[in-house]
């Protein structure tokens, strides 16, 4: 995909807070349609795209590729004086938010919300509860200043309005991108790139691509979209922990040196083998990511949808997860896109048989 | 309506033991429904057929939960004191000196061991005293009970235990009685086992497969001393839920509710709750998803025996629901 | 029906840490294949067996037991045969130091190692050993890859009355289902599910209940017995269940409010047959019932478990008589079952 970087920059500069994904979904919808996929919106806000569906033919197997488009953010909870108090939408890290620039999408009396820029102000110790002055200040006690008076706020801002980070994305040297919401827009970009490159769909398979909603809070998008599609195989794309200060153990992976394939009870071991072989054959640098219990991603919901879905997890290393300055490598995004492409191309009429558990237990 | 609320809140029906409520509700609604059934887990599904053509008719599910929080007996000790665990979420701070009614009618009082801290989780230091010795005590392990909290009419406001969620049951009953000829198929589901994790609602929705749904439940208020937990107040109207801990309401449902309230000049509030959730969250993720929301009744002292609601909020909630459901639905 | 300690021993000694249940699955398939009409393995590795094909309107019942046990996963080779590992399922850290483990398909021996007390600082001696300081020592580089699972290395033992073994939870349930599968039930369309990954979130049962979609379900597990004296000899009011009091019928746990009609039915069945039984104390914990009862439009479910002491550790203990009574109770409940019970 020739404009992958530009597309990614656009994606991480627009709101799509968990539970309120409309704006980013619209942009993704336009891009996915231009890649030749048919799109529709699921009942809990996920975007479902398909290619290769032909009615009247012998029913074919379905593969679903899912990446969540929602990002963590905040929601207006009340107006206090000239300030706005927020509630979390997703796992906001209280430790990294004081001082951050944010945008409030003010919707009172409007069809389309008005973006109002402001910041999360660091309160004076005396305005805090005794005991809270030092150390961690929870989001509960932080107030957002958008430079309006109480009367103006009451006129423009509704309880429930979305607030997202407003740190502008930029490039660090050698293809590293820094910005907010790279968890998980980086994966959305990877899926999008695959969709643009995917000229031919294997003849025995229908391909569904889903930008799920709600992953950061309740997996609603993955739960409902997987039910609707009922795929035979699912590939979930998300981000994993990049090596960095204080993050160097077995759970972390170098940014820019390759992607990961998840291994553990949440993922189908035969799909993992299949993916490893494909990665080796096409020389895509890939590490095995050990996930002893659950993966903490959409894969957790997808695996137990319907009567069980063989699930694979591919992850892109990302530094400083859930901060407003996450870092990923464009090279890794491209690798993820290519790996998905090669995996899809390797699917044939015998794939389901090959990954069935029955094969082990003859007689 | 106060008499109905009194009857409903004084009934005893902790999660899993909703039989009495089910009977009371179906008796109340006699003559107002096209049909009803009780599903495998115990939800009461009351159906009112719509007048539109089958092709244009929508299926709407409205959920109000019948169950309340309560206790279940874990042990009767050698002296006849009864140990218990929670059914649903009980706040230890609300327990001392509470009164409990068991399903056989026996009444007990909650005592606690000396030195018990009320801000710690767990119930090992509490016990129920029915004033009987072990030999005289008919209560056994697995018996359930609910709290006692008489209905109080304060005029504008009313107080009782289990306003959560009998107030919504009352609202649903009143709405049904006013919705004589709805255009769409209405499924009013009096759900079971909400308090232990919104368990009844999901299975009910799976069976009904509604086109859209909303729950009616209580929400907290931020209008008592030193309390800023939420910007919802008694007397300012029913609250349209935007978001709570487990779900975000479908924005189309929120708009639908808001437009109706504005058009019919019904006061309303917008709710962002940072703790807790409702049946709507279970309904929202059934099958391939259901557009869902919630109408919340502002309530002080939730999960105590003195839950307080405002009658104008209650009556406005009935008006809003009737307004939403009597005509064609454009969501 | 009689207990089969040879079968139980084979099952308990097999290693099947959540997500890696192959060895247990194969034992089960060998045991039941001649006694059931259909058996399949679903995408998660669950075994779903159907007793008989001709069922003509008979009530569909589900029996469930989970194949997995708690254990460990190797996550990193630190060099020289020392491995960093993670727990799979809930295990109290305090039973780990010095524990023998068996790693991988080839059951390579290892031991969980920690700093000796002589070298510990005064503050370290005051506390239990932190999990992060523990490593598995295999004595040298054995070529074990990260991702390999390891289980407790203890072996099954029994005397005349008591079983001492790892994984009584839930191989005793698995053995119960296998023995029940060898009986006939003319009144039922009976499904038996041997499920995966119960210990890490009831994962297998979340799927099998939807596939089978029964009218009622019985989950067979092992439940803790905390029936020891308290430090001050006060009455023990938190015992959960007691050894020697028979199978435990559940009324409420953190995942499920058990269907009262089934609770009453099994209580009456036990009383009528003179089978010793008890009620498990309502409270925390849970079984696959938490997943099963919420499938589709809801499934009335009961749990009946065998009490065992020292759960989730290398040696748990159960009374043989309690297992026998569990078998008798469930068998009686199945053979007398009719749909009017759950009207």
Q: Is the pLDDT of residue C293 over 50?
A: yes
pTM of the model: 0.95
pLDDT tens, B201-242? 999 999 999 999 999 999 999 999 988 889 999 999 999 999
Of A19, A159, A227, nearest to B287 by CB-CB distance is A227
What distance lies between CA B86 and its chain's CA centroid? 17
Task: Give yes or no for A172 touching C (CB within 8 A).
Answer: no
Q: How does residue C121 score in pLDDT terms, banded at 50, 70 and 90?
A: very high
Buried residues in C238-259 as b, exposed as e (16+ CB within 10 A): ebbbbbbbbbbbbbbbebbbbb
> Domain B2-68+161-325: which CATH class?
alpha beta
CA distance A276 to chain B (A): 32
B211 touches chain C (CB under 8 A): no
pLDDT value at position A310? 98
CB contact under 8 A, C146 and A309: no
The domain limits of chain B are: 2-68+161-325, 70-147
Angle at C9 between CA C6 and CA C15, to 5 degrees: 145
Residue B273 touches chain C, beta carbons under 8 Å: no
Tell me the pLDDT tens digit for each residue of B155-166.
999 999 999 999
Q: How many CB atoms lie within 10 A of CB C187?
A: 15
Give Cα C87 to chain centroid, integer Å. Answer: 17
pLDDT per residue as tens digits for the range C215-232: 999 999 999 999 999 999
- The string of pLDDT tens digits covering residues C125-154 is 999 999 999 999 999 999 999 999 999 999
Q: Out of B194, B195, B271, B307, which one is annotated catalytic? A: B194
- pLDDT above 60: residue B83: yes
Q: Which fold has domain B70-147?
A: Elongation Factor Tu (Ef-tu); domain 3 (2.40.30)
Residues of B (41-60) whose Cβ lies below 8 Å from A: none
pLDDT tens digits, one per residue of C186-211: 999 999 999 999 999 999 999 999 99
Within 10 A of A342 (CB to CB), how many other CB atoms are there? 16
Q: Which of C31, C198, C324, C331 is catalytic?
A: C198
Nearest to B44 by CA among B59, B68, B65: B65
Give domain A73-165's CATH architecture. Answer: Beta Barrel (2.40)
Which chain C residues are Cβ-neighbours of B140 within 8 angstroms? 279
Could you say which residues from 2 to 41 on chain B have a Cβ atom under 8 Å away from some Cβ of chain A?
none
Residue A166 CA to chain centroid, in angstroms? 18
B83 touches chain C (CB under 8 A): yes
Instruction: Give the residue numbers in A contacting B (CB under 8 Å), as ranges.
Output: 18-20, 22, 42-45, 75-80, 85, 87-89, 158-160, 214, 217-218, 220, 223-225, 227-228
Tell me what the mean pLDDT of segment C162-183 comes to: 98
The pLDDT value given to residue A359: 52
Selected residue of C282, C296, C302, C339 to mutate for chain B interface (largest B Cβ count, 10 A): C282
Any catalytic annotation for residue C267?
Answer: no
How many angstroms separate the CA atoms of B305 and B299, rounded?
12
Under 8 Å CB pairs connecting chains B and C tally to 70
Residue A55 contacts C where some CB pair is shorter than 8 Å: no
> Which of C297, C299, C303 should we substitute to test contact with B (largest number of B Cβ atoms within 10 Å)?
C297
Mean per-residue pLDDT for C308-336?
Answer: 97
Q: What is the pLDDT of residue A57?
A: 67
The alpha-helical segments, DSSP class H, found in chain C are: 5-13, 22-32, 122-126, 168-181, 203-212, 260-273, 289-292, 320-335
Q: What would you measure as the largest C-alpha separation in chain B, in angstroms?
A: 67
Query: Residues 6 or more apart from A6 whose CB is under 8 A from it?
Result: none
- pLDDT value for A363: 39
pLDDT of residue A130: 82
For B229-288, the pLDDT digits (tens) are 899 999 999 999 999 999 999 999 999 999 999 999 999 999 999 989 999 999 999 999
Q: Within chain A, which residue ranges are assigned CATH 3.40.630.10?
A: 4-71+180-355
pLDDT at A251: 96
pLDDT tens digit string along C18-47? 999 999 999 999 999 999 999 999 999 999
Domain architecture of chain C: domains with CATH: 5-69+166-342 (3.40.630.10), 71-152 (2.40.30.40)
B213 touches A: beta carbon within 8 Å? no
pLDDT tier, C50 (very low <50, low <70, confident <90, very high otherwise): very high
* Beta-carbon count within 10 A of A363 CB: 5
Q: Which residues of B touch A79 (CB under 8 A)?
A: 231
pLDDT of residue A265: 98
Q: How confident is the model at residue C104 (pLDDT cuts 50, 70, 90)?
A: very high
Any C CB within 8 A of A362 CB: no
Using an 8 Å CB-CB cutoff, list chain B residues near A214.
248
CATH assignment of A4-71+180-355, among 3.30.230.70, 3.40.630.10, 3.40.462.10, 3.30.43.10: 3.40.630.10
Most C CBs within 10 A among B72, B122, B142, B189, hence the mutation to make, goes to B142
Binned average pLDDT, 10 residues per bin, chain A of 363 residues: 92 95 97 96 96 76 97 96 96 93 96 96 84 83 95 97 95 90 97 92 90 97 98 98 94 97 98 98 98 96 98 98 96 98 94 82 41
Q: How many CB pairs under 8 A join A and B?
A: 79
């Amino acid at each position: 995909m020739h404009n992958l970087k530009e597309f990614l920059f656009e994606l991480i500069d627009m709101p799509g807070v968990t539970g309120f994904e409309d704006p980013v979904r619209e942009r993704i919808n336009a891009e996915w349609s231009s890649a030749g996929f048919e799109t529709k919106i699921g009942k809990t806000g996920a975007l479902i795209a398909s290619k290769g569906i032909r009615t009247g033919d012998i029913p074919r197997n379905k593969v679903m590729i899912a990446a969540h488009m929602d990002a963590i953010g905040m929601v207006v909870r009340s107006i206090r004086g000239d300030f706005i108090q927020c509630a979390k939408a997703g796992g906001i890290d209280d430790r990294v938010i004081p001082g951050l620039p944010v945008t409030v999408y003010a919707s009172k009396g409007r069809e389309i919300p008005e973006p109002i820029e402001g910041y999360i102000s660091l309160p004076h110790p005396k305005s805090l509860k005794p005991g809270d002055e030092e150390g961690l200040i929870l989001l509960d006690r932080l107030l957002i200043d958008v430079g309006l008076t109480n009367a103006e706020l009451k006129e423009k801002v509704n309880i429930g309005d979305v607030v997202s980070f407003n740190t502008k994305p930029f490039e660090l040297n050698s293809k590293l991108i820094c910005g907010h919401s790279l968890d998980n827009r980086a994966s959305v970009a990877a899926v999008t790139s695959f969709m643009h490159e995917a000229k031919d769909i294997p003849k025995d398979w229908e391909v569904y691509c889903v930008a799920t909603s709600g992953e950061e809070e309740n997996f609603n998008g993955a739960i409902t979209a997987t039910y609707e599609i009922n795929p035979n195989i699912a590939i979930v794309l998300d981000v994993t922990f990049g090596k960095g200060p204080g993050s160097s153990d077995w759970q972390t992976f170098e940014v820019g040196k390759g992607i990961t394939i998840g291994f553990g009870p949440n993922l189908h071991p035969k799909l993992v083998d299949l993916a490893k072989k494909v990665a080796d054959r096409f020389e895509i640098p890939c590490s095995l990511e050990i996930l002893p219990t659950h993966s903490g991603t959409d894969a957790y919901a997808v695996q137990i949808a319907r009567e069980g879905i063989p699930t694979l997890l591919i992850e892109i290393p990302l530094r400083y997860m859930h901060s407003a300055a996450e870092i990923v490598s464009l090279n890794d995004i491209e690798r993820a896109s290519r790996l998905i492409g090669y995996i899809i191309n390797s699917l044939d009429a015998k794939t389901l048989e090959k990954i069935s558990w029955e094969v082990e237990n003859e007689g | 309506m106060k008499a109905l609320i009194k009857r409903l809140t004084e009934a005893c029906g902790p999660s899993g033991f909703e039989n009495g409520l089910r009977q009371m509700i179906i008796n109340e609604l006699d003559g107002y429904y096209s049909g009803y059934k009780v599903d495998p887990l115990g939800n009461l599904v009351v159906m009112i057929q719509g007048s539109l053509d089958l092709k244009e008719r929508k299926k709407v599910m409205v959920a109000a939960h019948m169950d309340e929080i309560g206790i279940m007996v874990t042990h009767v000790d050698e002296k006849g004191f009864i140990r218990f665990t929670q059914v649903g979420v009980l706040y230890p701070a609300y327990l001392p000196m509470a009164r409990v009614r068991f399903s056989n009618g026996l009444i007990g009082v909650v005592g606690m061991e000396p030195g018990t801290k009320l801000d710690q989780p767990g119930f090992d230091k509490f016990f129920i005293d029915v004033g009987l010795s072990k030999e005289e005590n008919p209560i056994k392990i697995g018996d359930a009970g609910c709290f006692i909290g008489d209905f109080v009419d304060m005029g504008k406001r009313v107080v009782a235990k289990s306003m959560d969620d009998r107030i919504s049951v009352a609202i649903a009953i009143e709405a049904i009685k006013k919705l004589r000829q709805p255009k769409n198929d209405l499924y009013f589901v009096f759900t079971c086992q909400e308090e232990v994790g919104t368990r009844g609602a999901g299975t009910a929705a799976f069976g009904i497969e509604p086109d859209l749904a909303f729950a009616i439940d209580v929400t907290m208020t931020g209008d008592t001393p030193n309390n800023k937990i939420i910007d919802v107040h008694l007397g300012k109207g029913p609250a349209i839920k935007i978001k709570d801990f487990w779900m975000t309401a479908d924005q189309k449902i929120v708009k639908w509710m808001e437009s109706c309230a504005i058009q019919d000049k019904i006061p309303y509030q917008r709710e962002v709750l940072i703790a807790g959730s409702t049946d709507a969250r279970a309904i929202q993720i059934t099958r391939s998803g259901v557009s869902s929301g919630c109408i919340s009744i502002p309530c002080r002292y939730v999960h105590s025996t003195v839950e307080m609601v405002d009658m104008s909020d209650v009556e406005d909630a009935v008006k809003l629901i009737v307004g939403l459901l009597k005509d064609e639905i454009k969501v | 029906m009689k207990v089969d300690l040879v079968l139980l021993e084979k099952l308990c000694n097999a290693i099947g840490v959540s997500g890696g249940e192959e060895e247990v699955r194969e034992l089960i398939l060998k045991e039941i294949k001649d006694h059931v009409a259909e058996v399949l393995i679903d995408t998660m590795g669950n075994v779903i067996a159907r007793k008989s094909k001709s069922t003509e309107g008979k009530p569909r019942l589900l029996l469930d037991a989970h194949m997995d046990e708690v254990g460990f996963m190797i996550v990193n080779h630190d060099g020289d045969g020392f491995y960093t590992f993670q727990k799979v399922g809930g295990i109290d850290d305090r039973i780990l130091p010095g524990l023998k483990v068996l790693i991988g398909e080839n059951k390579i021996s290892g031991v969980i190692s920690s700093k000796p007390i002589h070298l510990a600082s005064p503050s370290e001696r005051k506390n239990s050993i932190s999990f992060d300081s523990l490593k598995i020592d295999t004595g040298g580089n054995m070529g074990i890859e990260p991702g390999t699972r390891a289980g407790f290395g203890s072996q099954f033992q029994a005397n005349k009355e008591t079983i001492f073994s790892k994984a009584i939870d839930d191989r005793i349930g698995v053995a119960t289902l296998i023995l029940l599968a060898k009986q006939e039930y003319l009144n039922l369309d009976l499904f038996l599910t041997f499920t995966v990954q119960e210990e890490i979130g009831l994962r297998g049962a979340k799927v099998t209940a939807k596939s089978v979609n029964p009218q009622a379900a019985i989950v067979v597990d092992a439940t803790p017995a905390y029936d020891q004296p308290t430090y001050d000899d006060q009455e023990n009011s938190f015992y959960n269940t007691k050894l020697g009091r028979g199978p435990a019928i559940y009324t409420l746990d953190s995942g499920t409010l058990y269907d009262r009609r089934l609770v009453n039915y099994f209580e009456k069945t036990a009383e009528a047959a003179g089978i010793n039984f008890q009620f498990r104390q309502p409270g925390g914990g849970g079984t696959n019932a938490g997943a099963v009862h919420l499938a589709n439009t809801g499934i009335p479910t009961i749990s009946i478990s065998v009490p065992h002491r020292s759960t989730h550790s290398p040696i748990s203990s159960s009374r043989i008589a309690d297992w026998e009574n569990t078998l008798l109770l469930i068998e009686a409940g199945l053979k007398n079952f009719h749909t009017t019970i759950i009207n």
